[in-house]
Every structure is written in structure tokens, then in C-alpha cells.
A and B are shown apart, each in its own frame.
Chain A
Amino acid sequence: MPAGQQPLGWEVDASRRQLLSDSLGIAVSSGAFGFVLGLAARDAGLTPLEAGAMSLIVFAGASQFAALGYIAAGLPWLPILVLTGLLNARHLLYSASLAPRLRYIGLDRRAAMAHVLTDEAFALSAAHFHRLGRVDVRGYWMAASVGVFVPWNVATVAGALLGGAIVDPAGLGLDIVFPAAMAGLAVGLVTGRRELVAAAAGAASGVLLSLAFGIGAGIVAGGLIGPAVAMLTPESRSQASPDSDMAGVPVDVATATSELADLDEPELGEPT
């Protein structure tokens, strides 16, 4: 265990409890919009089985909504696939951000983890890793499954099956859960001046470029520009400490290696 860390068992349990609580809040939103996706799939002529297969196989909300509109309009597949690729390009950033921390996980497990890497899974697991100061594979699966995968897939089928029993998520204010959750989880990752600048620059550039080039492009641009601006900022004193946590720590190969070496400890668990 790296010097300066708290006892592992208590810390992991406490962080997982927080993770579960956060995941349940996001699951409400995932479930509500999964239900709406099921309704949209039904309207587009898909059976419940087809709607469920779509969510299970594609598992990418925004592009699924867009694709259903195209399917209903009878458009050819090429624009559907191009749009899907563009809408999901931001996942590259999530994957690249997590990759250095997960490099000691087996290739097959990383391949499986990639399929459930969504906005919410990234946000929840990044916050969890940040609290711990290192990775926790079981925590990643908790975030991905409880927060998104299970509610999204179950609700998609339910929406396609139940049809008429419609509850409009926007009418209940649930459409605010996603951006609010992203804001809250971003706040949790801000541990120093550089993270604060990255978040502020990411938000500002994301909005400005969304106005000019569309929301999809703006979001990705925010994720690219924010860190670049932050790297021009001098690090705060707390970030220079070798005991800083994961999000704030300056890149130090020895520290990073010791964090990841904890993966060998049995408490961290692996997906079953």
C-alpha cells in the first residue's frame, strides 16, 4: 500500500457505498429514458425483442434515439452508421483517460469493460477511483451495471412492451438528472487548480463550440480543450504532494505504479 493511504478495506467499502448511492440516482434517469427509448422503438415498428436487442448490442443512448428516427423514416444505413460513430466518438476520451489506470487488468476483462463504458459509467467510476486514489474493478462494474446497463436495458424492453402507460420524464423534471449528475461528478473530480481550470475551460469551450458546430462536436471539443488549457496552469501546492490522490497527483511513474499494484490485493475483486 502506498504511503499515506488510509486502510484499504474501510476505504473501499465506504467508497463503494457512495458509488452505489450515486449510481441509484443516475439509474432513475437511465431507466426513465430507457423507457422512452422503448416507446420510440415501438413507434418505429420494432418489436420488444428487437428494441431489447438494440439496447443490449449498441448500448449507446443518444445514437440509439437518432437511429430510431432514421429507421422510422426509412433512411439507408450509411447515414445511421456515420451518425452513430460521430455521436459516440467522445468515448475515445473516456477510454483513453481510464486506460493508464487499467493497464494491469487482463485484456479480455478490459474488452468487456469497454462495452459498458458510457458517460455515466465513466463519471461514476472516475469519481470512485478518485476517492480511493486508485482503481477498483468491481466498483467499475457496479457503476456500469447499477447506474446504466441494467436499468437502461430493462426499461427499454418495458417501454416497448407497455407502450401506452407513458410517463414523460421531462414532465417530472427527470431530464435534468443527466446534466446535473455530470456537473456533480465533475465537481467531485476537482481537487486542485488544474482540475478546476480543466472543468471551467471544458465547459466554456464546449458551450461556445456547440453553438457553432453542434452539441456533439462541442462536447468532444470541451473534453479536448479543457485539459490543454489546464496544463498551461501552474499546479497548486497540494498537487505537488506525493500523497495527492489520483485526480490531482502530478504524473509520477513510481506513484502511479504503486497505485496500480494494489490491483493484486484480493479486496479489489474482479467481475464474475
Chain B
Amino acid sequence: MSTELLLLFVLMFAVTYPSRAVPLLAPGIERLPPLALLYLRLVGPAILASLAATNSLVASGADGANVLDVGIEAVAVAACGVLVAWRRNLVIGLAVAVAIVFVARFAGLA
């Protein structure tokens, strides 16, 4: 194994790990004000929805700029969300989302 590459991976770890660990390891996190704790509890739904929306609605345009793209991917993601809300089962939602995208692409619709 290349020692140089191994060093690069260790450095990549060194710039990644703090963002994962610092809040978890910080002393006194339980002494945050109640409003801060409430804020942190709302981060979950906010960032997961942000990840879902950006990954399904934003695409790279021909000139490299990001553009809004409401395509079959957005439909599939929305269908998954609705199914999970209805059936409380993520696997069913994922299966339907994959099926929608696969069929649409196979049929040349996307």
C-alpha cells in the first residue's frame, strides 16, 4: 500500500472526524439552554428533508450551474414519503420509489 495515500486518507479522516465528534464529545452539552436543545431536536426532520429535496429536485444544468429539476425522481421521492406516512414502512416506500424510477427510465420517460 502506498504510504503517501495512507497519509492522505488519515488527513481526510482528520478533517472529517471533528465535525462528527466535537459536539458528541463536548462537555456540558446537557447544560445547553432549553431553546438550544429544542433547536437541536428539530434538526433531524429539517436536514433529512433538505437532503431528500436537494437530491431529488436540484440537478446540474448544461452550463454546470444548478437548476431546479422536477422530474420522475421527485415524484418517486414524494411517493416514498406518502407511503411511509401511510403504511409506516420504509421498505415499501423504497421499493415503490425504485420501481417508479426504473420503469420510467426503462420506458424512456426520464
Interface residues of A (CB under 8 A from B): 21-22, 24-26, 46-47, 49-50, 53-54, 57-60, 63, 67, 71, 77, 80-81, 84-85, 88-100, 102-103, 107, 110-111, 113-115, 117, 119, 122-123, 126, 130, 171-190, 194-196, 198-207, 210-211, 214-215, 218-228, 230-231, 246-247, 249-253, 256
- CB within 8 Å of A: which of B22-66? 22-26, 29-30, 32, 34-35, 37-58, 66
Q: Which residues of A contact B40 (CB under 8 A)?
A: 96-97, 99-100, 227
Measured CB to CB, the nearest residue on chain B to A184 is B84
Central interface residue in B50, B58, B105, by most chain A CB within 10 Å:
B50
How many B residues have CB within 8 A of the partner chain? 74
| CB atoms of A187 and B91 under 8 A apart | no
Q: Which residues of A contact B38 (CB under 8 A)?
A: 231, 250-251
Q: Which residues of B contact A218 (CB under 8 A)?
A: 50, 54, 58
Majority secondary structure of chain B interface residues (helix, strand, loop or mixed): helix
Known interface pairs A100-B32, A100-B37. Does A202 touch B25 (Cβ–Cβ under 8 Å)?
Answer: no
Majority secondary structure of chain A interface residues (helix, strand, loop or mixed): helix
Q: Which residues of A contact B101 (CB under 8 A)?
A: 173, 175-176
| CB atoms of A222 and B20 under 8 A apart | no
Known interface pairs A180-B93, A211-B67. Does A202 touch B49 (Cβ–Cβ under 8 Å)?
Answer: yes
How many residue pairs, one in A and one in B, have C-beta atoms under 8 Å apart? 319
Cα(A211)–Cα(B15), bound, Å: 26
Interface residues of B (CB under 8 A from A): 1-2, 5-6, 8-13, 15-17, 19-26, 29-30, 32, 34-35, 37-58, 66-68, 73, 76-78, 80-81, 83-85, 88-91, 93-95, 97-102, 105
Q: Which residues of B contact A180 (CB under 8 A)?
A: 52, 56, 76-77, 80-81, 93-94, 97-98
| CB atoms of B51 and A119 under 8 A apart | yes
